[in-house]
Chain A
C-alpha cells in the first residue's frame, strides 16, 4: 500500500501487459442462458433473479436511496467471471479464475454523488448500501419508481457463437502451446516466450429511479504474447497483444500467425535499434495504435466532468477551431466486437458516435448523465465504470480520427529529420496544463524522406491543443487497433479502443539522448 492519491491528477492508458489483463474461463458459474428469459412487463429482472433480485427489491432499494431527497438514483448489479491462463518456460502451468458479484447504489443531487456498494445481495445489504449513498442529499424523501420499463431494441455489438464457459480448457491450452512452439520456431534467437490468455463474461443490470431497467452481457477476451531474444550476448524483449469483445472464433489461424510474426519481428529489430537524438522534431504516426495520441492529446480533456469542473484545457473551446479542416475526431462504441464497444453505457444510456472534432472545430464533450444535465444536453453514452465497486464517470470508448487527404508515402517523404512511430506501450496526460506523453516501443528515424535506423524505448511529450494545431497531414489509411488497451482514470480501469490514419505532427519533443559531457 503506497497510499499515493496522486492518481487524482493522472489519466493513463496502458497496453495489455500482464498487469493490465484482469484475468480468463472454466467455471459454469456464469450461466448466461437465462439472461433474457421472459423479461415480462411485470418483472424486468432476468439473470439476477437467481440471486433473489426482484422488481420489488429494486423499488425498495431505490426508495431507500432517495429517502433523503436525491434527484436521481440508480443501482448497478454485476456478476463477472474471468479466467486467465499463463504460459511460461514452455508450459501452461498457471490458471486463475476470479468472480465478482455485487451491487453499487448511486444517489445524485445536482452535480453531487453519493455512492455505496455491497457484495451482500440481500434486502438488508441493499438497504444499507442505499442509505449510505442517500446521505449526499439533505431533504425530504422522494418516491422510488412505481414500475419499470425495459429498454427495448438494445443493439447486439458482441454476438457470441460459443460462450466462454463452454470452451474446454484443453482447447485454449492447445492454442497457447501451438503459439509457443511457432514463436520459438520462427527465430533461433528466441530464448523466452510468455503468454497470458484472458476471457471474461460480465452480466450487468441497471435500474434507475426513472423506472428504466436494462441488462447486458459483456464478453471480453485478450491474448498477450511476449518474447525475449538473445544475440551476441545482448538481450531484447517485446510483445504483441490482441483483444476483443468476442468468442474464441476471434483467434483465427491468420490472426494468431500474425501475432507470432509481429512479436518476433518487433523484438529482433531492436538489436539494430538506437535511441534517437533528443529534442523537437517532426513525427509521423503510423496508422493504428498511434491513436494513443488522440486518447491523450484530446480524449481525456474532452471528458465532460473535467469541463464542468472548469479544469480541462478544453473547458472554453467548444465551437472553436482547434485543428486543420481535414481533422475530424470521433469517439464511438458501436464497432462490432471492438474492445471499446458497448451496447449501453454503465448508466443504461444508449451508445452511438460522438464527434469531438468535426472538420477542425471542437464540437462535443463526452458526457455521463451528470454532466449532460449540467450542460443541458443529451448524455452521449460515455458513463462508464470499472465495476460495481465504482460510480460511473465520463470515459472514452473507441477514439479515432477519420481519414484525410494525404498518403503515408508523401508524409514520410516530406520529413528531412524526424521519427516514424509504429508501436506504443502507454501514455498519460495532465488535463489542465494539457501536457501529454506516449511511449514508443518501435519506430524508425526518418532521414531525407526515408525510413532508416530503427528506434526504441522513447517517450514523446507534447501539449494537447498545440499538437492538434500542428497535425498538418492526415492519411487516407485509417486503422483501428486491435490491442488490449486499458484506460485508467481516478483509480478506475476500463477497456478502450483507439485508431488513427497515418498522421504528421510538424514538431513535438522526442525524449532521446542528449549530447553528454565527458
Chain B
C-alpha cells in the first residue's frame, strides 16, 4: 500500500468490523485516521528544524460475550491487520464480562446538525513548508525589531499546519467521516536579565483557515514585548488578594473543573461535583455552554468519538451545575443518559469589560499571565499551582512577579469569581475570557 486513498481508509475501517465479527465479536467500532503534519522552526536567522509527515492508523473497539477490548495499530498490511483484530477479540474474551460495556444506543447517532462547520481550508495544500519558512522569518524578524531588542538572546518562531481525516463505522449502523485543517504561528523569545536569568515568553495565533490566522508579524512583536516585560521579575508577598487570570492562561483553571465533570470521576467517587447537579457550585456570573457547533471552532464536531450526534448544552447556568460529560459506559454505570464524554468548544456568557477595564477596577491585585506546574485533586477540589504575572497597582499593570503559588479549593474558589471579561481567547477550544477572583490565597515571600 503505497499511498492510501480516502476510499482505502474507509474500506479498512469497514474490513476491521467484518474481521472482528468473523473472529467472534458481537459488536465492533472502527475508526481509520490519517493526519498530515508540516512544521517548521526558525531560530536566530535560520531554519532550525523542518518536519513533514503523513501518519495513519486504525483504532478499534470490540465487544464479545459481554467483554470488551480496544486497540490501535499503524501496521495496515492486510495480514498484520487481520492478526491484530483477531488477537484483540481473543484478548477481549480472556477478561471479565461487564454488563455496562457496549456500543451506544443507535438512536443517539441520529439528529446530526446540518450546519456547515467550515473546518477545512480548501487552500490547505497551497500552504507549503516554503510558505512557512517565509512567514516564520517575518515573525522572527518582527520579534527582533521591538523596542528594547538589545536584551533579546534568542527568538524561535514556528509554523505548523495539519490536515486531520477520520472515517468511523460501527456494527450497529453508524458511518461518518470528518476532515479539518489547522494553522498555527508562534514565537518564543528569551531575554537577558540580572542574576543570569533568561526569562522567556511566547505568543501564538491560529485558525482553521490560513487567511484568518491574522497579523503574523504582530505575534513575533508581541512575544518579544511579553518577554521584555518580564525582566526584573521578583517574588511577590504572600497574601489573600484580588487575582485577574488572563484569558490565555485561564483554560488551565477551567480544565480542573472539567476533570470533576467527567463521568468516570463521578462514578469512581473522584469528583467534588458528584451529586451537585442543580446546585449553585460556582459564581452566578458563570454561564457556560458546551457548543460543538461553533463555526470554524477548534473543538467543533457533528458527532463525538462514539458517534453520538453532537448538540450544544448548558454546563453551568448562572452558577448552577446543569450537566456533566458522560459517555455511554459511565452513563450505563450511573444509570443516566450519556451526554458525550469529552469537551468540544466552550461558549461563555461574557462580561461587558475588556481586560484593561477590569484592571482599572482592581486597585491592588495580581494579574496571572501563566501557570507553571501544580495540580488539582478532582476528588476533594484542593488545588495548588505555580503562577507568573504582574502586580496591579492603582488600576494599572505594575512590576512583573513570579515564583509564586495560587492555592485553594474549587468549591470555595469559583464562588469568589466577581467579574468576567468580554475577551474569549480565540486560539483554544475552551475560549476562556479574563476571570477576576477576590480574596484568594497567593504564596510568595
Residues of chain A with a CB closer than 8 A to B2's CB:
120, 122, 124-125
Question: Known contacts A97-B88, A99-B73, A434-B197: does B372 contact A428 (CB below 8 Å)?
Answer: yes
User: Closest Cβ of chain B: how far from A442's Cβ, in Å?
Assistant: 12
Quick one: given A1-B298, A132-B53, are A98 and B204 in contact (CB under 8 Å)?
no
A459 touches B55 (CB 8 A): no
Cβ contact within 8 Å between B69 and A459: no
Within the complex, what minimum Cβ distance (angstroms) separates A421 from chain B?
A: 13
A163-179, CB under 8 A of B: which get 1 and which 0?
Answer: 00000111001000000
Bound together, the chains give a CA A312 to CA B197 distance in angstroms of 8
B380 CB within 8 Å of chain A: yes
Q: Which of B405-429 contact A (CB under 8 A)?
A: 405-408, 427-429
Question: Which residues does chain A contribute within 8 Å of B57, judged by CB atoms?
Answer: 119
Whether the pair A99, B75 counts as a contact (CB closer than 8 A) is yes
Q: A93-B95, A511-B407 are in contact. List 15 more A-B contacts (CB 8 A).
A: A9-B200, A9-B201, A93-B96, A169-B94, A192-B269, A228-B268, A236-B380, A278-B443, A309-B44, A317-B196, A431-B198, A456-B377, A456-B382, A457-B377, A512-B441
Shortest beta-carbon distance from A129 to chain B in Å: 8
Residues of A within 8 A of B198 (CB): 310-313, 315, 431-433
Q: Which residues of B contact A (CB under 8 A)?
A: 1-2, 43-44, 46-57, 67-76, 80, 83-84, 87-88, 90-92, 94-98, 101, 129, 153-154, 156, 158, 160, 164, 180, 182, 184, 186, 188, 190, 193, 196-202, 204, 206, 230, 233, 235, 238-240, 251, 268-270, 298-299, 333, 372-375, 377, 379-380, 382-386, 388, 402-408, 427-430, 439-445
Knowing A4-B427, A93-B96, A438-B373 are in contact, say whether A113-B379 is a contact too (CB < 8 A). no
Contact: A8 with B186, CB < 8 Å? yes
Task: Flag whether A444 is at the interface (Cβ < 8 A).
Answer: no
- Known contacts A119-B56, A237-B270, A389-B55, A461 near B377 by CB under 8 Å: no
Q: For residue B240, which residues in chain A have a CB less than 8 angstroms away from its CB?
A: 514-517
- Which B residues lie within 8 Å of A168 (CB)? 94
CA–CA, A2 to B339, complex, Å?
A: 21
Known: A113-B49, A437-B386, A457-B383. A98 touches B129 (CB 8 A): no
**Which of chain B's residues has its CB closest to A125's CB?**
B2
In the complex, are the beta carbons of B87 and A461 less than 8 A apart?
no
**7 pairs across A/B with beta carbons < 8 Å?**
A101-B80, A119-B55, A275-B384, A278-B407, A430-B372, A509-B404, A509-B443
A5: interface (CB < 8 Å) = yes
**A33 contacts B by Cβ under 8 Å:** no
- Interface readout for A74-100 with B: 1 if CB under 8 Å, 0 if not? 000000000101001101111111111
Nearest chain B residue, comparing its CB with the CB of A94:
B68
Please indicate which of the listed interface residues B53, B68, B164, B382 has the most CB atoms of chain A within 10 Å of its own CB.
B53
Contact with B along A1-19 (1 / 0, CB 8 A): 1111110111010000000
Contacts of A114 in B (CB 8 A): 49-51
Q: Does A183 contact B (CB under 8 A)?
A: no
Known: A315-B198, A514-B443. A88 touches B372 (CB 8 A): no
Using A2-B430, A310-B153, A459-B384 as known contacts, say yes or no to A279 and B445 having CB atoms under 8 A apart: yes
CB-contacts of A145-190 with B (<8 A): 168-170, 173
How far, in Å, is B401 (CB) from chain A's closest CB?
A: 11
Query: CB within 8 A of A6: which of B98, B190, B202, B407?
Result: B202
Contact between A135 and B379, CB atoms less than 8 A apart:
no
* Interfacial residues of chain A within 1-58, with CB under 8 A of chain B in the complex: 1-6, 8-10, 12, 26-29
How far is it, in angstroms, between the C-alpha of A89 and the C-alpha of B376 when the chains are bound? Answer: 24
Decide if A433 touches B402 in the complex (CB within 8 Å).
Answer: yes
Q: In the bound complex, do residue A169 and residue B182 qualify as a contact, i.e. CB atoms below 8 Å apart?
A: no
When chains A and B are docked, how far (Å) is the Cα of A5 from the Cα of B408? Answer: 28
Q: What residues of A have a CB within 8 angstroms of the CB of B129 in the complex?
A: 135
Chain A positions near chain B (C-beta within 8 angstroms): 1-6, 8-10, 12, 26-29, 83, 85, 88-89, 91-102, 111-120, 122, 124-125, 129, 132, 135-136, 168-170, 173, 191-192, 194, 228, 230, 235-237, 275, 278-280, 296, 309-313, 315-317, 389, 391, 425-439, 456-463, 465, 509-518
Chain A residues near B67 (CB-CB < 8 A): 93
A462: shortest Cβ distance to chain B, in Å?
A: 7
List residues of chain B with CB within 8 A of the CB of A91: 96-98
A239 to chain B, nearest CB (A): 11
A518 touching B439, Cβ below 8 Å? yes
* Contact across chains for B407 and A513 when beta carbons are under 8 A apart: yes
> Which residue of A has the minimal Cβ distance to B60?
A97
A37 to B193, CA, bound (A): 57
Q: How far is the CA of A136 from the CA of B440 in the complex (A)?
A: 50
| Chain B residues, Cβ within 8 Å of A463 | 197, 403
Known contacts A96-B70, A439-B375; is-contact A101 B75 (Cβ 8 Å): yes
Contact across chains for B298 and A3 when beta carbons are under 8 A apart: yes
| CB contact under 8 A between A432 and B53, given known A99-B75, A278-B441, A509-B404 | no
